Structure 1
Amino acid sequence: MNKKDKVLVTGGTGFLGAYILRELINQGFQNIHAIRRKTSDMRLVNSFKHSIQWHTADLLDVDDIYHQVQGASRVIHAAGLVSFAPEDKEKVYDINIQGTENIVNACLHHKIPRLIHLSSIAAIAKTRRRVPITEETKWVDDHYISQYGRSKQLGEMEVWRGVAEGLDAVILNPSIILGAGDWNASSCRLFMQIHKGLKYYPPGGTGFVDVRDVAKITVSFMTLHHVNQRYIINQDNYSFKYIFQLMARHLDVDPPSISAPKWVASSIVFLEKVKSKLTQSRPVITRDSVRNAYQDFNYDNQKIKLLGFTFTPIEQTIEETCHLLLKAYDQDYMPYLLSAQKDPVSKNTA
């Protein structure tokens, strides 16, 4: 692939999308296009926005998407709606399924050489008692699957349909992505909650990964020959207690010290629901997110590591992110990106 070829990124102003755009610039790509909404917050990309050709488009507008995809050598589909709130179900399904369908159809129509689709571990079926979860774990739609997870799984089905019709595609399934960004959005809110004081921690555990690693791996798949497969992107699996206490240590606040009984969690869900209605914002904690926080999920990263990829230790990610949050505290919580670092990804991946 020539670095002057057109690359189109959806979701470029979002948490992960901003890091993907910066990574493309740092790797020397010169013809980067990104889709944004009219109301998109540009603060995360402000320092390099002039290196990107921006286009206002709606994922649900077929004509918009077909026009923007035309001429691209690679499409990175990072746009999506992350919400576990029941009232967002229709919007989540529209964006994560219909929006992906439109991207896939546009890629097929214009014979785009490759689509890189950012999904989530939420789209992979759950196994309990720390039984390893792999890319091949059989899908079972049970009560541990959230509406968001269903929407991402159905979005993946659109990509597999495209593959069956001749599209080359890669599906990436990151675990919980940590890093600096908009402190009131995505997983950055976890750091904010710890900073403001939190007594309880959920007793479960799951996978975590540095946002920069996900961005680097995404860009690497623009040239890798391993297509028409899915890959779990996960540094390692940790308990929420460990992650929360590590955040608290680097934020110099008292760590959560009480394992939250389910009645406490149910009360928090109720209060979050009331708060969201009063403030017209999405609830941070919902019944779906609480249900999974009481289980231990163990995501296997061997498939991606076999390609030579390595990961930033999550302890380093948390330390760097906390440093930026404390810096942002005196600046009305200004959004930040973690600094670029030496590539933790092996070069022996072609």
Structure 2
Amino acid sequence: MKDFAPLPQKSIFVFMILVTGGTGLVGAHLLLHLIENGEKVRAIYRSEAKRSQTKALFSYYEKPLLYSHIEWIQADILDIPTLEIAFQDIQQVYHCAALISFDPNEEEIIRKTNIEGTANIVNFCLAKKIIKLCFVSSIAALGDLAAHETEITETTEWNPENSHSDYAISKYGAEMEVWRGQQEGLEVIIVNPGVILGPGFANQGSGTLFTAVKKGLQFHTLGTTGFISVLDVVTIMCRLMKSDCHNERFTLIAENMIFKDILFQIADALKVKRPTRYASPLLTTIAWRLDALLAILHIKKATFNSATANASHSKTFYSNAKIKSVLNPSFINIADYIQKIATTF
């Protein structure tokens, strides 16, 4: 689709849609997808530097003119007065904003941002009589496998006795706020994506995998988790919001893959050396403890902890059967998508 000045009108009635987290990987791609489909969109941002990342992403897709169709409001999900302004005349909300960190020193702000921030969004949705809310959670907030289970689904029970990262706990708590809103009359959709792959954010999320491999990452593990392209995530979110489906959660993964295979594919796509040295559980334990010590000494910010170390070895499989039964999406092949992302590096 070429750039254009006027937006295509899908119907006489055009919703005003609010997007939080519009300066992140999912939010920025969501904004582009919504505008391409003629939606009227408002997005909140905290700084000009963050907003420039979204603008750059529009240029990456060769659609810079569409960026001007976003109505930006400087606001914060923890700042009630600014949210009051952001929610004016809104009918639907996509809540993508979240803080991702594995630094134990940031436990309080992670939980405050992800749980209290979501509670604020839910409260405004209820007060403003929002038609429908879509919340972007994570597979980290799904349940824990029991001894007799082989794959995690939307109904797998969360075991509070198990070890979870602060991030996982915060997303689980945020989901509880969304379900509270549902019990009070708000129509909601929760999506739980796996590791989201996409271009434009080399220093965030999965972008750090590409950056690390390009810089010469040497180690890999044999754990397994779910992966999905950001394009699939935003397309599914929008389809669910336009459907009659509500008060449901969906695991969004295209493929369950071994970390070693993902890292090898990234290395091959970037035309750099593969990380061929196996990092044993003992080695990753030493690594996260050293990382934590350096954080305590304020030498560097922690990027690794016991939960992520354990996850790197866990052979966890996630089921996407539910979203297939509802929408039957055609998922982008992960290997092909990695090749495409690599062109941005």
What TM-score do you get using the length of structure 1 for normalisation? 0.87
Quickly say closer, same or farther: Cα 1:310–1:228, change in 2 above 3 A: same
Q: Which residue is 1:118 aligned to?
A: 136
Q: Which residue is 2:270 aligned to?
A: 251
Match of 1:289 among 303, 308, 312: 308
Contact 2:143 2:155 in 1 (8 A): no
SS in 2 for 1:95: helix
Q: Which residue is 1:75 aligned to?
A: 93
Supply the distance in 2 between the matched residues of 1:322 and 1:9 (Cα, whole angstroms).
28
Query: What does the per-residue CA deviation read over 1:71-103, in whole Å, with 9 as the maximum and x for residues that have no partner?
Result: 211100000011122111111111110000000
Contact 1:128 1:297 in 2 (8 A): no
Deviates more, 1:248-257 or 1:151-160: 248-257
Q: Which residue is 1:348 aligned to?
A: none
Contact 1:117 1:171 in 2 (8 A): yes
Q: Which residue is 1:131 aligned to?
A: 150
Quickly say closer, same or farther: Cα 1:281–1:62, change in 2 above 3 A: farther
SS in 1 for 2:155: coil
Supply the distance in 1 between the matched residues of 2:145 and 2:304 (Cα, whole angstroms).
22
Q: Which residue is 1:308 aligned to?
A: 328
Supply the distance in 2 between the matched residues of 1:315 and 1:186 (Cα, whole angstroms).
18
Equivalent runs, 1:101-180 vs 2, <5 Å: 101-127=119-145, 131-180=150-199
Query: What does the per-residue CA deviation read over 1:25-79, in whole Å, with 9 as the maximum and x for residues that have no partner?
Result: 11111x2100111355223321343110000111112232233123211100000
Q: Which residue is 1:13 aligned to?
A: 23
Contact 1:144 1:291 in 2 (8 A): no
Quickly say closer, same or farther: Cα 1:152–1:43, change in 2 above 3 A: same
Cα RMSD (Å): 2.0
SS in 1 for 2:19: strand
Match of 1:28 among 25, 28, 38: 38
Q: Which residue is 1:320 aligned to?
A: 340
Supply the distance in 1 between the matched residues of 2:278 and 2:338 (Cα, whole angstroms).
21
SS in 2 for 1:125: coil
Gaps of 5+ in 1: 326-350
| Percent identity (aligned) | 35
Gaps of 5+ in 2: 1-9, 56-63
**2:109 is aligned with 1:88:** no
**2:205 is aligned with 1:195:** no
Supply the distance in 2 between the matched residues of 1:37 and 1:215 (Cα, whole angstroms).
22
Q: Which residue is 1:65 aligned to?
A: 83
Match of 1:241 among 255, 260, 274: 260
Contact 1:13 1:40 in 2 (8 A): no
Q: Which residue is 1:227 aligned to?
A: 246
Deviates more, 1:139-148 or 1:88-97: 139-148
Q: Which amino acid aligns with 1:155?
A: A
Supply the distance in 2 between the matched residues of 1:236 and 1:71 (Cα, whole angstroms).
39
Deviates more, 1:150-159 or 1:68-77: 68-77
Q: Which amino acid aligns with 1:205?
A: T
Supply the distance in 1 between the matched residues of 2:31 and 2:121 (Cα, whole angstroms).
18
SS in 2 for 1:41: helix
Quickly say closer, same or farther: Cα 1:278–1:183, change in 2 above 3 A: farther
Q: Which amino acid aligns with 1:229?
A: E
Supply the distance in 2 between the matched residues of 1:281 and 1:317 (Cα, whole angstroms).
32
SS in 2 for 1:298: coil
Quickly say closer, same or farther: Cα 1:290–1:159, change in 2 above 3 A: same
Quickly say closer, same or farther: Cα 1:97–1:172, change in 2 above 3 A: same
Q: Which amino acid aligns with 2:89?
A: G
What TM-score do you get using the length of structure 2 for normalisation? 0.89
Q: Which amino acid aligns with 2:330?
A: T
Q: Which residue is 2:59 aligned to?
A: none
Supply the distance in 1 between the matched residues of 2:281 and 2:320 (Cα, whole angstroms).
30
Deviates more, 1:1-10 or 1:222-231: 1-10
Q: Which amino acid aligns with 2:194?
A: S
SS in 2 for 1:112: coil
Q: Which residue is 2:69 aligned to?
A: 51
Query: What does the per-residue CA deviation read over 1:120-157, in whole Å, with 9 as the maximum and x for residues that have no partner?
Result: 00111132788110001011124442111111011001
How far off is 1:175 after superposition?
A: 0.4
Q: Which amino acid aligns with 2:204?
A: A
Supply the distance in 2 between the matched residues of 1:220 and 1:161 (Cα, whole angstroms).
23
